[in-house]
Structure formats: C-alpha cells, structure tokens
Amino acid sequence: MNKYLFTLLLSTAGTIGCFAQANIVPAAKQTKTIAITGATIHVGNGTVISNGTIVFSGGKILSVTANGQAPQDIEVIKADGKHVYPGLIAPITNLGLAEFSSVKATLDFAEIGNFNPHIRSLVAYNTDSKVPATLRSNGILMAEITPEGGTISGSSSVVQLDAWNWEDAVVKTDDAMHMTWPAIPQSRGEFGGRRQLLTPEVIAERRQNAINELEQFFSEAKGYAAIGKPTVTNTRFAAMKHLFDGKQQLFITADSQKDIVASVNFAKKFNIKPVIVGGDEAYLITDFLKENGISVIVKQPHALPNSTDDDVNMPYKNAAVLANAGINVAISIEGYWQQRNLPFMAGTAVAWGLDKEKALSAITLNTAKILGIDKTTGSLETGKDATLFISAGDALDMRTNHVEKAFIQGRDINLDNLHKQLDKKFSEKYGLKAAN
C-alpha cells in the first residue's frame, strides 16, 4: 500500500511541476492615468481611428481622439504603427470548468439529469486554471462560462480573465439560462441488445414527447414564479424565475432551420426572446430571424457542414450571410484550449464575405450586446471599461497578431503563459530563438 501511495505522490508532484506557471499573478488596480498614442484604434463599433490616442484612468476610458497627442504628466505608451482593440469576448465556453480532458476529476461542466436550471457555472469557475493565460496572449480578455449537458444545462456568467477568485472575476452574474432544443433521434436504437430501425412515426413520437416534457417544465416553472412566497421551495423552478421577468436571457442551441423556428416559437409562448446558439442553417431563415429580432451565436467557421447536401464552405460563410442580412451575430468556438483561436475564426469569416470591422464586432461589441454587458465593455468608448490590448499587427490574422500589452479594467496584466514558458525552455535547450 505504501509503495502505491508513494508512486501516486511522485506522479502528482511531477504533474504539478510540468504544468506550473511561475510568477503569473493577477494585476493590481490601475493607479495612474495612461495614454496610448499613435496607434490605429479599432473602436469595435465599425469605427477606425488612425493615429489615435486613447486615455484611461481608474479602469475607465476618459477619451478616444483622432490625434497623436497625449495630455502632459501622465504615462504614455507609444504605439506608432500598431493596433489597439477592445478586449475580445469568448461566448459559450467551458473555460475554467475543465483542465485535462482525459482526467475526469478536472471536468466540472456538466451534471447528471435532463433539467438542471439550478446549476450555476460561476461558482465552479477555476481562476487558477492554466488555460486563461493562453487566451489573454491572443487578446481574449473575457468569457461567458457555460455549463453543458441535458436539455436545460443551467446558468452561465461572464468573467474577466485575470482574477484571484470567481468573485473578483465576475463581470455579469447568471447572464443566461442554457437549453438544447430536442434534436431528431438517431434512426437506429438499441433494443434487447440488438439494433432496431426507428420508423419515422417512432422518431416523431419521441421528439414530440421530449418537446411536451420541456413545455410542461416551463409551464410549471412559470406558474411557480408567479407565486409570491411558495410554501414549498423548488430549487429548479426558482432558478428559472428571471427568465419570465426579463432579467435573464434564454440561449437555445439549435442547428436545423426547423429546430430554430420551433425553438423560437416555443420561447415566444412564454414571452421570452431567445438567442440562438449554433444556427448551422440560420442562413436559410434570415427573414424569420429579423422579424423576431433574434441574435445568433454561430459556431466556429472551421468546421464541416452537418448535411452532405450543404455547400462545403457554408460554415465559413454563415456569419457573413447573417450579418449582411442585418442580424446581430457573434462568433464562438468550441472547447476551452481552442478559445485562443477565436480571433482567427473571425478572420476566416472576413475571408468569406464579412467586413473586417464587422468581424471584430462579432467577437467584441455584438457579443457584449448579446450578453447584456455592452454598457460597460465591448468597444473603446468614453466611460466604458479600459479592457483592451495592443497588437503589433492585425489581430484577426494569425500571421501578424502579436499582443504586446493588454489591460483589463485598466490593470496592466501579465501576458506570460505556459506555452510561452515551454517555448522559451526548449528554445534555450536546442539553441533556437523563442517565438516571443
């Protein structure tokens, strides 16, 4: 027994040593006024200011002007020939809820059960995760931490990615309830250990049963919310009350055009205007989406279409088609480590028909509007949080994006990360030049 315990301790120590990130601590509050001068400022709302100056103090933006001059007696960062962007926002991610996909003990993004509206991702968010630092190095400074699993997964919250704990990290608490629309069942199922072909009638029946169950749950939750002081507490129904008073949004994952229409009409029965997540076939029903004022968070453009009959390039085009039709679009990417590639997903959308500044809005201001945080962040405007970064090149181009400095609410954050440390370590070992 002692032998096995000793081996386990050695293994654990080795793992901790391999994944340690030295000297990366959250930044202190901003104490002096800072001006960034000479840069091309991408405001995030479509406006671009050449040779601009942005001044911020106490974590808030004081001014954004179209000249290279800065007030006297303040700290000046000269960024001639460089670019300033608002901090990028990653929606729909289990960042901080997972560390190693192969180690179950580090996965905390899903619960058992089909209806879990009482689950709150925020309290499980791990600010000591090694992943957020890699995102900050590419300009992703905020994220919507989202639970998964079941039909109703629970509530997400928006955090900034440089904090000691989840209380410090939170930007907006319980911004949205997340739901997955019942999909068409697989054409084959298991019966008595043998595969069984499901008829169209059986498929339709199972699907309708799932929808009926969901509608009953919402109806009971709405009735519970109407009770001032219920004699018996139901934590699941209590968690949904803000859906019905408009204080919380409903995000519905749906991909096919029929599912999107059905899910929107379902939400309308309860006087809820949902946000569609995924929306692979949203481009086929743009008039319906505009008519109902529906925003769409599209999946990563680097994917294959769901149907063999679809244009193989449709995932690349989807964001552009929706945005050009006048729909509020945000871009997301699955997973947690992969979030660092979010700006390049927007760059792909540019290559397939989306205006570059609109693509930037799809990962900044549009996302902020969808998440309900646009009054304080998402663009570089007077009075908003000084959450921004400086890149030597185009932030949406992986060949030129090089984040040299980043600020979250005015705090000058550390851009070191595990990847940079390993790069430096082995570059020195083999006599190579490190990337950063």
- Same domain, yes or no, for 254 and 105? yes
On whether the CB atoms of residues 225 and 244 are closer than 8 A, the answer is yes
Tell me the residue range of the domain where 316 lies: 89-374
Please indicate, yes or no, whether residues 203 and 317 belong to a single structural domain of this protein. yes
Q: What is the CATH number of the domain that holds 285?
A: 3.20.20.140
Task: Say if 7 falls within a structural domain.
Answer: no
Do 163 and 108 sit in the same domain of this protein? Answer: yes
The four Cα atoms 249, 253, 255, 257 give a dihedral, to 10 degrees, of: -40
Tell me how many domains the chain contains. Answer: 2
Domain boundary among 355, 374, 393: 374
Q: Are residues 295 and 164 in the same domain?
A: yes
Same domain, 256 and 213: yes
Residues 110 and 66 in one domain: no
Has residue 433 been placed in a domain? yes
Instruction: Name, in order, each residue with C-beta under 8 angstroms of 327's C-beta and a sequence gap of 6 or more.
Output: 282, 286, 289, 290, 294, 295, 296
Whether 33 and 70 have beta carbons less than 8 Å apart is answered as no
- Quick one: 398 and 337 in the same domain? no
Same domain as 93, residue 83: no
Q: Are residues 154 and 288 in the same domain?
A: yes
149 and 297 inside one domain: yes
Beta strands at 296-298 and 275-278: parallel, antiparallel or unpaired: parallel
Residue ending a domain, among 336, 353, 374, is 374
Tell me whether residue 278 is in a domain: yes
Domain co-membership, 247 together with 114: yes
118 found inside a domain: yes
| Residue 11 included in any domain | no
In order along its 436 residues, the chain shows pLDDT tens digits of 444 444 444 444 444 444 445 568 999 999 999 999 999 999 999 999 999 999 999 999 999 999 767 777 899 999 999 999 999 999 999 998 988 777 777 777 778 888 999 999 999 999 999 999 999 999 999 999 999 988 999 999 999 999 999 999 999 999 999 999 997 654 444 444 555 677 888 888 888 898 999 999 999 999 999 998 888 889 999 999 999 999 999 999 999 999 999 999 999 999 999 999 999 999 999 999 999 999 999 988 888 888 888 889 999 999 999 999 999 999 999 888 899 999 999 999 999 999 999 999 999 999 999 999 999 999 999 999 999 999 999 999 999 999 999 999 999 999 988 888 888 888 888 887 767 6
Question: What CATH number should be reported for the domain holding residue 54?
Answer: 2.30.40.10
Last residue of a domain, one of 349, 374, 399: 374
CB 40 within 8 A of CB 358: no
117 within a domain of the structure (yes/no): yes
Indicate if 392 and 424 belong to the same structural domain.
yes
